[in-house]
Structures are given as C-alpha cells and as structure tokens.
C-alpha cells in the first residue's frame, strides 16, 4: 500500500482503526482519501488480526462531506472518466463488520460514508445532513438509496430535499444509528461495541452480515434460501463444533476462527 496521506490506521485487540485525518477541512473527503479508506478496509478484511473495522474522524467532526473544492470544476465527462464512485462500491464487498463512531458534522458524502457502515455509534453532538441540494446537486455516493432503505421514503425525501440537520434523537428514532453516547465517551463506547462483536466466532459473524444484507435487496423467499445455505455452511466450521460442544459440556467456548 502507498503511504497514507489523508487517513491514519492502527490495529489493536482485534479492531482495525481508520481515522479520517483532514481535521482542518472537517475531514472533507477527497478522492485520494476515499481510495485510502477503501484500500485499508480491504487490507483489514483479509488480515486475521482484525475482527471488526472501526471508522472515525480526527478533530472536531466525523466529516463535512465530499471535498467541494475538488468538485467545483467537474463536468459529467470528468466525473465519468474519474469513476470515483467505483471506490465507494467496493465498501459493499467488505465482509467484516464496520462500525462508524461519528460526531459533530456528518454531512453529504460523510453521511454516505457513515451509512455505508454496518453500525453507528453517535456522540450526542452529532448532526446528520444532506446539504447537496443547496449546492445545486444531490447525494451521489448512495445517499438517496441507503437512507431510503433504512428509514423509508417519507423521511428520506424530506431530509434530502430540505437539507435539514437531523438530530441524533431523530436518527435513533428512525433507526439509522445504534447508540447515542456522551461526546467524551465516543471512542470508549465504540470500542466496547466493537469488542462485543470481535469476540464472536468470525465465520458466523461474516455469514450473518452477508445474510442480513441479502434481506435489503432480495425477496423474503430468496433471502431465506440464502440464509439456509449459510446456516448449513457454518456446520463445517471448527467454531460450530466448539460452540455447541462447550454448551453441552457447560463450559465457555474458545473460538479460533476456523
């Protein structure tokens, strides 16, 4: 991997950390930064030391959106040739759970990046918004699709058309965040959350994420057929033998990831 310019990364206790690192620009996302985020997620995805990925921002905000300075002179042709959203598409292929720890501004592309996570732990000062309409454009990295699938058409259309700032309580009420925490406890709570998942058997975690994601885009029947195959597959794993034997033998399981 080339030297990272716009993010910082580390691995600790089964958690792969990604810190957006343009704090002076409120972590506005330029194209290189997205490419670094996605390449790091892919590297973590095949690193057996990492069980869960945790994404957050350095400085005050999670992210104030895509870098407007970079886009101001774009045309449909430069956008087509740059094909920047191909990087965003690769986030959908990450097999390990991704937790976003968000705070302050979560705007535009920053909101889309947050919605691409599997879980969101939000500091109580977080504000979510899609301001794109006020710039004469619209969300382009999945915002209209992901938010609508999560909260339904009524609120998604209202929020995207008004650019209203969404309060964390509303975010929790409509079910697109998992938890609200005090700002000073954000990382502690997010790590706690990550560790609950990191200690589960990795193959089961992987196939559960894959199966739940199927429910979003497929019919109930198709989703259930898919779930069943994954359920069967887990019976080939050592962790299934260990987990069930431990229950029968009344002891704690020791999962190895195999």
The set of catalytic residues is 66, 109, 112, 132
One of 7, 15, 18, 28 touching ligand CAA (CB under 6 A) = 28
Are β-strands 127-129 and 166-167 bridged in parallel, bridged antiparallel, or unpaired? Answer: antiparallel
* Nearer to ligand CAA (CB atom), residue 64 or residue 99: 64
Binding mask 77-106 for ligand CAA (x = CB under 6 A): ----------------------------x-
Calculate ∠ Cα 178-184-187, nearest 5°: 55
Binding mask 114-153 for ligand CAA (x = CB under 6 A): -----------------xx--x---xxx-x----------
Q: Counting contacts by CB under 6 A, is residue 188 touching ligand CAA?
A: no
Closest distance between ligand CAA and the C-beta of residue 218, in Å?
26
* Nearer to ligand CAA (CB atom), residue 121 or residue 141: 141
Residue ranges of alpha helices (H) inside the chain are: 31-45, 68-71, 76-82, 85-91, 108-115, 143-151, 153-162, 168-173, 186-198, 202-217, 220-234, 238-248
Q: Are 116 and 35 in contact (CB under 8 A)?
A: no
One of 64, 115, 166, 177 touching ligand CAA (CB under 6 A) = 64
Closest distance between ligand CAA and the C-beta of residue 39, in Å?
19
For residues 57 and 78, give the distance between their C-alpha atoms in angstroms, rounded to a whole number: 29
* Nearer to ligand CAA (CB atom), residue 97 or residue 109: 109
φ, ψ of residue 252 to 5 degrees: the values are -80, 135
Q: How far apart are the first and last CA of the chain?
A: 27
Q: Which residues bind ligand CAA (CB under 6 A)?
A: 25-26, 28, 64-69, 105, 107-109, 112, 131-132, 135, 139-141, 143
């Amino acid at each position: 991997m080339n030297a990272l310019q716009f993010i910082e990364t580390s691995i600790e206790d089964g958690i792969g950390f990604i810190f957006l690192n343009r704090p002076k620009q409120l972590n506005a996302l330029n194209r290189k930064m997205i490419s670094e985020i996605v390449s790091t997620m892919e590297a973590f995805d095949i690193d057996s030391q990492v069980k869960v990925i945790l994404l957050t921002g350095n400085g005050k905000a999670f992210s104030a959106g895509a870098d407007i300075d970079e886009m101001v002179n774009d045309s449909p042709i430069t956008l087509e040739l740059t094909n920047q959203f191909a990087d965003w598409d690769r986030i959908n292929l990450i097999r390990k759970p991704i937790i976003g720890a968000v705070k302050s501004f979560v705007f535009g592309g920053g909101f889309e990046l947050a919605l691409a996570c599997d879980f969101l732990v939000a500091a109580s000062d977080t504000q979510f918004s899609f301001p794109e309409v006020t710039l004469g454009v619209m969300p382009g990295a999945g915002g209209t699709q992901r938010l609508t699938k999560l909260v339904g058409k009524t609120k998604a259309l209202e929020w995207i058309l008004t650019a209203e700032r969404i309060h964390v309580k509303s975010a929790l009420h409509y079910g697109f965040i998992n938890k609200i925490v005090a700002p000073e406890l954000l990382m502690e709570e997010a790590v706690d959350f990550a560790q609950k998942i990191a200690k589960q058997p990795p193959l089961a975690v992987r196939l559960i994420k894959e199966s739940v994601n199927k429910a979003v885009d497929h019919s109930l029947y198709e989703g259930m057929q898919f779930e069943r195959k994954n359920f069967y597959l887990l019976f080939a794993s050592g962790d299934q033998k260990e987990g069930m034997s431990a229950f029968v033998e009344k002891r704690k399981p020791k999962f190895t990831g195999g």
